[in-house]
Every structure is written in structure tokens, then in C-alpha cells.
Amino acid sequence: MPSLPFFFYTDRTALLLNGRMNNLEYGSYAPDAPQVFIDDNKFVSLWQEESRWYLLTYGTDVPHLEQVVGRTNLHIVAENGGNYLLTNHPLP
């Protein structure tokens, strides 16, 4: 989760890939908690959809993502300071 302020300033919601850790885990299993935490399996199913998805990630996580969905399915939109904004479909 390299940039949670991004979602604050854009007034958008996000899914958190493998984000149930540290202090986020405690409330994530509450019955009324928003269903925003996804695992690799859910990520793969979303990433394969025809809809465009974006992923904001640390560069150190890219090798894992390449293993999960394949290098050819990760398209770089932007890179800054070792962090990446990726999408599931090539940009026009």
C-alpha cells in the first residue's frame, strides 16, 4: 500500500491486495467491515476481466505480481520513486 493518501485526495475507494496485516487485520473480519481486502486468487479473477483495473504497488512487489498474473499482463502506467501504477490492459 504505497499511497493511501492517493485515495483520500481523489475521494475514491480501493481494494487492498494481501493487506490484512498489522493493525488493519483486527477490524477486517468484523461482520460490518467493508469487503475491501482481496487475496491473490481474487486479484487474478479481477485482473483478467475486460474492465480496466489499476494497481498501485511497491516495485519490490512486482516480481510476486509477475508470478501471479504473468509479466505480459502488467502494464506500467506510471513509475515514481520505485513505486508503480499498473493496469491490466495496454493503454491506447
Running DSSP on this structure, what letter comes out for residue 58? E
Q: Name the residue ranges covered by the structural domains of the chain.
A: 4-87
Q: What's the pLDDT score for residue 58? A: 93
> Is residue 28 over pLDDT 80?
no
pLDDT tens-place string over residues 50-82: 999 999 999 999 999 999 999 999 999 999 999
C-alpha cell of residue 14: 480501493
Whole-number percent of the chain with pLDDT over 70: 90
- Which residue shows C-alpha cell 486479484? 43
Q: What's the pLDDT score for residue 2? A: 46
CA dist., res. 56 & res. 32, Å (int): 26
Predicted TM-score (pTM) above 0.85: no
Q: What is the mean pLDDT of residues 26-40?
A: 83
Helix (H, G, I), strand (E, B) or coil at 30: coil
